[in-house]
Amino acid sequence: MDLYIDTANLDEIKQANDLGVLDGVTTNPSLIAKEDVEFHAHMQAICKIVKGPVSAEVISTDTDGMLREGRELAKIADNIVIKLPCIVDGVRACKTLSDEGIRTNLTLCFQPVQALIVAKAGAFIVSPFIGRIDDIGEDGMNLIAQIRQIYDNYGYTTKILAASIRGTKHVVDAAILGADIATVPFNVIAKMLKHPLTDNGLKAFLEAWNKQ
């Protein structure tokens, strides 16, 4: 499973990338707004740090606007992926951009039929939001399992990206169910490398060595 970081903070991206295991980056308008930066220049800076796919989201809600923004964003770097919402106009833009060779990430996916439609439209990535589904008392991981089954049944190559991840258990469950990608906040990446038994074991090894 590929590991992406879900942030627009350059320091967090650099730290995650320095681990040597980062495969890509996802951003959205909310994350960009937190950084108080010029959008295009900031996306260019991210693409210089990370060589894998970097998702840049449009803010238009009509097809023409999405196409205009998407084509402009695609010029930033070869690894830019255009993030579009799972709505009618987003699917239309997805089909057009995909036919033009521009990769797309269809976001805000909350049901398997949305994932089916965007795969047929040529989406490179679909992003089911598992944490937000959990928030309303449903099972976000069930959505991952349903999409995986549908894609495997019919040979769709659209990558399943587990988004809205809240903790390390979400990462583990997504990996077990066959998600192609998990995009996680920086604090979750840090937690993935922490376990008290690891720390205690290392401490014991060093103490034993120093007693020689």
Catalytic residue positions? Answer: 83
Classify residue 193 as exposed, middle or buried by CB count within 10 Å of its CB (0-12, 13-18, 19+): exposed
Q: How far is CA 33 from the centre of its chain?
A: 18
Rounded-to-integer distance, Cα 59 and Cα 181, Å:
24
Q: Which two tokens stand for residue 127?
A: 């992003």
3-state class (DSSP) for residue 194: coil
The sign one gets for the Cα dihedral 11, 125, 28, 163 is: negative
Distance (Å, whole) CA 168 – CA 162: 12
Amino acid identity, residue 70? G
Tell me the C-alpha distance between 88 and 93, whole Å: 9
198: left (phi over 0), alpha (psi -120 to 50) or beta: alpha
